[in-house]
Homo-oligomer: A and B are copies of this chain.
Amino acid sequence: MPKLVANDIATALKKRISSGEWIENGRMPPERDLASEFGVARNTVRRAVSFLEDDGTVVRHVGRGTFLTATNPGSMAATVSRMEGTSPADMMEIRQLLEPAAASFAATNASATELNAVREAHKIASESQDMPTFEHWDAEFHHRIFACSRNDFLKEIHNLMRILRNQAPWFEMKKRSFSEERRSIYCSEHQMVLDALLRRDPESASQAMLAHLRTVERNLLGR
């Protein structure tokens, strides 16, 4: 075992739970049994189960046992885990709804300092030479626009999208669709968004962002 065994056990348990194990009475085996089954110390199992407890998958009671709560489909945890299956097409659709609005809000609400942060992210992305660096500062550019939209909920939704986009299937997709030519197109589109923000022009900021996202969608989904 490479280490961080508790993490592995936690994901193994989640997998077994979602595959319907222990669902008949909603009760997991005692920690001591799991420990011997996985061949680890009980402390380790305890930590693994604590992770499940943290994200609400499970509830523990002294003297009774550990019980699944996943039977509640309306919970935050369940919602979030369903989100992980989001398709690129669905996400691009929502980005085209939210990001132009965020850009519009930003044009009216941002402070000069915040706009400078946006400009800086754009600058670094433009000057970057390799794909990982560009990726990072590209994402940062978009994120900083959300950050000055002055709507915390919107900002957090974007955080969710950002996390989802950094997971495995997306990663392959981005790699395939990356090219130097596209990078420079993205940069010039970013520039137009930035210019509109600096002019404090909500309408054209929104339009520039929408145009950019349409380009991204075409490149990503090959439409």
Residues of A within 8 A of B (CB): 3-4, 7-8, 11, 14-15, 17-20, 23-25, 27, 54-57, 64-65, 70-71, 73-77, 79-80, 82-83, 85-87, 90-91, 93-94, 97-98, 101, 130-133, 135-136, 140, 151-154, 156-157, 159-160, 162-163, 166-168, 171-172, 175
Name the residue among A18, A19, A56, A74 with the largest chain B CB count within 10 angstroms. Answer: A18
Residues of B near A74 (CB, < 8 A) are 159, 162-163
A3 to B4, CA, bound (A): 32
SS of A interface (majority): helix
**A82–B152 contact, CB under 8 A?**
yes
Q: Which of B4, B77, B94 contacts A55 (CB 8 A)?
A: B77
Nearest-CB distance from A81 to chain B (Å)?
Answer: 8
Chain B residue contacts of A18, Cβ below 8 A: 130-132, 135, 175
Q: How many copies does the complex hold?
A: 2
Decide: B54 and A77 in contact? CB cutoff 8 A. yes
List, sorted by A's number, 25 A–B pairs whose CB atoms are closer than 8 Å.
A4-B27, A4-B64, A7-B25, A14-B130, A15-B130, A18-B175, A20-B171, A20-B172, A20-B175, A23-B171, A24-B168, A57-B136, A71-B167, A76-B80, A79-B159, A79-B160, A80-B156, A83-B153, A83-B156, A85-B152, A86-B153, A87-B153, A90-B151, A90-B154, A93-B153
